[in-house]
Each structure stands twice: as structure tokens, then as C-alpha cells.
Amino acid sequence: MKTSKLLQKLYSGSKNVKFSELVTVVEAFGFRLSRINGSHHIYESPDMKDYHINIFYSEEDEGYIADIPDLKYCSAFGETPEQALKEVMKAKQAWLETAKASNKPIPLPLYRPIIDQKQQEAMAM
């Protein structure tokens, strides 16, 4: 069933809705299955979180490189860290638009560097 028909079914208050139909609607709005915990299926929207960005100086390129580990091959160059960040944000937008246009999966922003993970663990104690 098409998403628009499923939405009409939901809006009409139908009490006969399959779980698979709900999944279709949720995924049509950009949510992706993050994890399953028992009978709970947890969906997250990539738009609700942002991707980690690495910025580092490259001797070889004589400038700064910014990359987004969760988005394969998404990187940019700048003469300053700020310029590299600005350029990688443009690259991220283009990457996401291209993936959506070609119906490719968009990965959730999951990458966190080890130092970030350790800081979160220390704050939880």
C-alpha cells in the first residue's frame, strides 16, 4: 500500500493497522531502525542528531581536511580549520541529497571518537 493511503488509514482512526504498515510510514518520514530491545523497535531520525566531524592538518596537502566518518568518502579541504568545516558542511548536504535522490540508505550518526566515549563515561559516574 502506498504511503499516502497508509496515512489516510491512520488519520481515519482505523483500528486495523499492521505493524509493517506503521514501519512503512515511519521510514517514509526518514526514520531508520536504530535497535531492537525485546519487542521494542527503536527508530531514530538522522535529522535529530548530527554527524561527528574530524578536522586535522595535512602536511601532504598543506591545509586542513575535514571528514565525516559515518558518510563514506565525505570530506573537504580548507586552508584554515574554519574553511574546512564550512566546505565539509556543503559536502555533507550534497552527500545526503544524492543519497536521498538515488534511494540509497542514509547511515545514522553513530561514530564517536574514543575520547568522546570516555568523557561520557566519566560524566556518568
Strand partners, 33: 43
Q: Which residues have CB under 8 Å from 65's CB, separation 6+?
A: 54, 55, 56, 57, 58, 75, 76, 77, 84
The whole-number pLDDT of residue 20 equals 87
Mean pLDDT of the chain: 84
Domains and CATH numbers, the chain: 3-44 (no CATH), 48-115 (3.30.160.250)
Q: What is the pLDDT of residues 25-47, one digit of tens each?
A: 888 877 788 778 777 787 776 66
In 3D space, the residue among 90, 104, 96 whose CA is nearest the CA of residue 46 turns out to be 96
Going by pLDDT thresholds of 50, 70 and 90, the confidence category of residue 50 is: confident
| pLDDT higher at 86 or 115 | 86
The whole-number pLDDT of residue 77 equals 97
pTM of the model: 0.55
The whole-number pLDDT of residue 10 equals 80
Mean pLDDT on 64-73? 94
Name the amino acid, one letter, at 7. Answer: L
Going by pLDDT thresholds of 50, 70 and 90, the confidence category of residue 69 is: very high
Radius of gyration of the chain (CA): 19
Going by pLDDT thresholds of 50, 70 and 90, the confidence category of residue 104 is: very high
